[in-house]
Structure 1
């Protein structure tokens, strides 16, 4: 199971450490933060103790309405489950009673200036990405007109050269050589780089280039949702037919099905242009349009 430390979370959001600084190595394994509401009134049947616990203005205000004895009882009941950490939002100050418990139990207590809604939205996105199941594959990841594309093929087939052509046409590189795929949901696959190769593109006969330095900031983006898997293959005579609609194929990555397209290479073929066409075609299909269906409809109208 993937995990990150409370220290990593603290650094990512510049959180203030109020207590438990000696246990910043505690691990976070669940991707959603939790606001302990029902737990403060004694209901613990479904308490997600593995999650980051966020204390907003509503929770702190409720605790302040209690007597000292009740307050200590309710807080103690939650702290004994030893969640990874507590995070107080909106820079709230009246929390010495929570600080005491967290210091005693070795649970990091952190604070942010963000409002509860803002912080939970940000931390949930962060944890979802950091804890997502992932795999690495050999290929290139691009964002073509806002559409994430995974470009695969044997070494030396021309993936990076094709990517370079697309970048010069105004599209964006995400990753070259090693593409990290993360499953963010049942149907969502994110493509990104491994930090080491960030912004770099390797071109045979030229070497390594930094696309941002060479073509500007718009030539690169950190990540993109993958919606097309395109494989470049060697040309095979009579292997391709000029069909109205090609056979629908898919590739499985981490349990996510991605539409698959094979593009065969031949001197003079505008591979970058074909990839642009594939991306635009996919987008139109999401809007409910099919060129093949429109063509057949025209034929039917002529014959009727």
Structure 2
């Protein structure tokens, strides 16, 4: 996980710096921005001081309504906790008193033209991804018809070649060789690249290709939510299971369970087509449909 600083926030959202220029190296360790409301009236029992403090129209209008002594008291109570930074939205003005305190306490005071709700959504999303627990695994990540899939297997088994076939069929590459997995929530696993391998796919006997240059911008996607873990393995006679519905299996990544499927490889077998079938089958199961259940119902209706 790469550390996030106030400077990163400034660059990401083109924020104006009003105070605290020398403290932009301050780390941001929490993923949710906070709007100090109760704190302005003196309640600090659960003040999340490590969060970015967001000052919208309500907060600034309230401060403007106070007398100078009251305003100095309320602002003084907050800045002594030294949050990483304050961000004022909607390009609000009349902030001399706030600038004064932030300069004295060396707390970055920033400003954006964005609305409070829009900026809060954007900064929360950015921080949740940037600060998420992450691991890197060997494999390939693809998006098949909007469904994020991990392709795993031993080196040389054919992961990248399968991904290439999927790309030619209109699906998208996310990462090849090194896949970065980020735990965005207790149930959400995000797959992305490590930056260096972005858009690149390594094919044996061919070498590196840039999928965006070769097949167009639609051939690549920066990230995707992972919902299927598919392991490609070498063909083993009598090892395939032809049950109507296989017992569900899962792989754990940072305590998130992802449905696991094994696909065995054999010359002439349409592996990319099987990956597409697995993706579409997963989608139908999310809609409550099971082909095995429908088949059994047909058998039962024939016997009645």
SS in 1 for 2:25: coil
Does 1:169 pair with 2:169? yes
Q: Is the 8 A contact 1:88 1:110 kept in 2?
A: yes
Tell me how far apart the structure 2 counterparts of residues 255 and 16 of structure 1 sit (CA, whole Å): 40
For 2:106, the equivalent position in structure 1 comes to 106
CA displacement, residues 138-179 of structure 1 (integer Å, 9 cap, x when unaligned): 000000000000000000000000000000000000000000
Q: Is the 8 A contact 1:150 1:228 kept in 2?
A: yes
For 1:54, the equivalent position in structure 2 comes to 54
Normalization by structure 1: what TM-score? 0.99
For 2:158, the equivalent position in structure 1 comes to 158
Instruction: State the shift of 1:94 in Å.
Output: 1.0
Tell me how far apart the structure 1 counterparts of residues 161 and 187 of structure 2 sit (CA, whole Å): 30
Structure 2 counterparts to residues 139-288 of structure 1, below 5 A: 139-288=139-288
For 1:67, the equivalent position in structure 2 comes to 67
Structure 2 counterparts to residues 88-99 of structure 1, below 5 A: 88-99=88-99
Tell me how far apart the structure 2 counterparts of residues 241 and 217 of structure 1 sit (CA, whole Å): 39
Unaligned runs of 5+ in 2: none
Tell me how far apart the structure 1 counterparts of residues 215 and 175 of structure 2 sit (CA, whole Å): 15
Q: Is the 8 A contact 1:2 1:29 kept in 2?
A: no
SS in 1 for 2:156: coil
For 1:19, the equivalent position in structure 2 comes to 19
CA displacement, residues 184-206 of structure 1 (integer Å, 9 cap, x when unaligned): 00110000000100000000000
Instruction: State the shift of 1:247 in Å.
Output: 1.6
Unaligned runs of 5+ in 1: none
Structure 1 residue ranges, 4+ long, deviating more than 2 angstroms after superposition? none
Tell me how far apart the structure 1 counterparts of residues 80 and 86 of structure 2 sit (CA, whole Å): 13
Tell me how far apart the structure 2 counterparts of residues 24 and 228 of structure 1 sit (CA, whole Å): 40
Tell me how far apart the structure 2 counterparts of residues 202 and 293 of structure 1 sit (CA, whole Å): 41
Tell me how far apart the structure 1 counterparts of residues 14 and 90 of structure 2 sit (CA, whole Å): 14
The farther-off stretch of 237-246 and 199-208 is 237-246
For 1:294, the equivalent position in structure 2 comes to 294
